Structure 1
């Protein structure tokens, strides 16, 4: 449970931490740094949410198996 909460907070922290780095790195991939940073974190957010979904469905499957085994 705690791992999922920490993973869910990661994109929020990542999106808003780019401003502190922007003054040191003016360009990244030929685009302004903050635009590049936001695009990277948009993709990372999708990956993190997919991993959280995987963890959630895995836990549901484990719970379903344990409940089915206890009813026999």
Structure 2
């Protein structure tokens, strides 16, 4: 359960730390580095939330005694 909370906090920390980290490099791949940073964290947030959803459904299935999606 604590792992889910830590994973949920990771995108928040990543997005809001980007301003200070990306301010030192002007362009990456021809676009402002802060835009690249935000696009990366947008995709990473979706992946992290999908993983949290997988962990949550696995816990619910274990409580109900049902097989998980990977075991079917």
TM-score between the two structures when normalised by the length of structure 1? 0.86
Q: Higher helix proportion, which one?
A: 1
Can you give the 5+ residue segments of structure 2 that lack an aligned partner in the other structure? Answer: 67-72
SS of 1:24's equivalent?
coil
The Cα of 1:29 is off from its aligned counterpart by 1.9
**CA distance, structure 2, for counterparts of residue 22 and residue 43 of structure 1:** 17
Determine the structure 1 residue equivalent to 2:58: 58
Q: CA RMSD in A?
A: 1.2
**TM-score, L = length of structure 2:** 0.86
Q: Which runs of 5+ in 1 are unaligned?
A: 67-72
Deviations along 1:2-44, one digit per CA (max 9) or x if unpaired, are: 0000000000000011111123211112110111100000000
1:30 and 2:41 correspond? no
Residues paired across the two proteins, number: 66
Which structure is larger by alpha-carbon Rg, 1 or 2?
Answer: 1
Q: Distance in 2 between matches of 1:7 and 1:58?
A: 16
Displacement over 6 Å in runs of 4+? none
